[in-house]
Chains A and B, each alone.
Chain A
Amino acid sequence: MSLAEEMSLTDIPDLAEHLLGESAASPLGVLRRQRADILKHEEGAYRELVLAPEPGNVSLAERAALALRGALIEGDAALAAHYRALLASHGDASLSALAECFPAPEGEGRLPVLFRYADMVARTPEACEQADIDRLRGFGLSAQDIVAVTQLVAFIPYQVRLLAGLRQMQQESAA
């Protein structure tokens, strides 16, 4: 991926509008700006989690991989395509391939453990136990890393439902 394309992936002003092909001036864009603070913090949370300025022990490539898995689990093709491109921009082909493996690999390696935790938070968070958190700590993840990973994985279902609702409104006004 060229530098220009990589820049464009992280410079999108509003991810939801970008993925929906809407502009700020469209009726839906104007409606959303009646909740301008919500728009701002949706974007802020996305940037803080996926494009984290201080990613700690969970790299930006790993964060893109976790976001991609979340979008694939939710079945949102447009969001998954965005995260696939973002992950590809980090240039780690083996991570790109592993990110799309379902179910997550067995074994006690760092990435398999991280992916299995993420998939559980996405799909069956009720099944989480103390041992799942402790296992992450065993790989040197700090409390901050674990909270960040959990926040990231739990934010993708927000994005998916926001996009689903906005698509319904797009369809409704096109009819």
Chain B
Amino acid sequence: MSRFTMQEVGWEPRLPPVEMDTATPAQLAALEACPPAQRGSVYFRTLVHDPGSLGERGALFTKVMYAPKGLPRAERELATAVVSIVNGCIYCTSVHARRFVELSKQEAVMRALLEQGIQAEALDARQRAIVDYSAKMTATPQDTTAADLAPLRAAGLTDLEILDLIHAIAMFANANRLMQSLGRSVPPKD
């Protein structure tokens, strides 16, 4: 039985989150700049202890995941789910697995990745190329060369799509570490 799931996973911080009624003006301003659906979350209220870095890093995250054109959003979610699986972040995996399924309607693909691991069959050639590249860039970025781009090119990825893929992979090298150190994933009860 895999520890990864598409169900809702909780996240508990290891620092008391900032409370809105005692937040400083700088903290409130940094939260204002975050996506409305997320600014009240316990994760953002933990990161806002350092408002300067939340402001920049939060804006970076939003652009990496949502900037228009380039790599389709479902494929950004595929990459970030794979990075999160490789890094063992159960919380991030669950969130981005769900977003991939919402956007792509390909639940069987994500289920196979979660249950069988990233070598799972059931992926088409373009997904396979994205998954393999994401896994290698996560585990051993220094061992990569131009040859690692060849399967992506063969699957039809453009320059901008590859750049977007690199950004998504890099973003989750960051996000997984923040989530795993500043708090812990709380898996759903069976």
Task: Please measure, in the bound complex, the distance between the C-alpha atom of A152 and the C-alpha atom of B57, giving whole angstroms.
Answer: 10
Please tell me which one of the listed residues B60, B141, B165 contacts residue A38 in the complex, with CB atoms under 8 A apart: B60
Which residue of the partner chain B has the closest CB to A44? B56
Interface string of A32-73 (1 = CB under 8 A from B): 101101100110110111001110000000000000000000
B123 within 8 A of A: no
Which residue of the partner chain A has the closest CB to B53? A151
Task: Please measure, in the bound complex, the distance between the C-alpha atom of A111 and the C-alpha atom of B136, giving whole angstroms.
Answer: 33
A19 within 8 A of B: no
Which one of B44-52, B93-101, B124-132 is at the interface?
B44-52
Task: Please measure, in the bound complex, the distance between the C-alpha atom of A83 and the C-alpha atom of B163, giving whole angstroms.
Answer: 25
Q: Would A133 and B15 count as touching, CB distance under 8 A?
A: yes
Would you give the shortest CB distance from A19 to chain B, in whole angstroms? 14
Cβ contacts under 8 Å, A155 to chain B: 57, 174
Please tell me which one of the listed residues A41, A151, A164 contacts residue B59 in the complex, with CB atoms under 8 A apart: A41
A93 within 8 A of B: no
Cβ contacts under 8 Å, B52 to chain A: 48, 52-54
Would you give the shortest CB distance from B190 to chain A, in whole angstroms? 21
B81 within 8 A of A: no
Cβ contacts under 8 Å, B145 to chain A: 168, 171
Q: Would A32 and B163 count as touching, CB distance under 8 A?
A: yes
Interface residues of B in 138-181 (CB under 8 A from A): 138, 141-142, 144-146, 148-149, 159-160, 162-167, 169-171, 173-178, 180-181
A-side interface size class = 35 or more
Q: Would A161 and B53 count as touching, CB distance under 8 A?
A: no
Q: Would A168 and B149 count as touching, CB distance under 8 A?
A: yes
Cβ contacts under 8 Å, A54 to chain B: 52
A20 within 8 A of B: no
Cβ contacts under 8 Å, B181 to chain A: 120-121, 125, 128, 132-133, 150, 154
B residues at A contact (CB < 8 Å): 14-16, 46-47, 49-50, 52-53, 55-57, 59-60, 63-64, 67, 70, 87-89, 137-138, 141-142, 144-146, 148-149, 159-160, 162-167, 169-171, 173-178, 180-182
Q: List 10 A-B contacts (CB under 8 A).
A: A35-B160, A48-B56, A126-B88, A128-B14, A147-B53, A150-B178, A155-B174, A157-B170, A158-B173, A169-B149
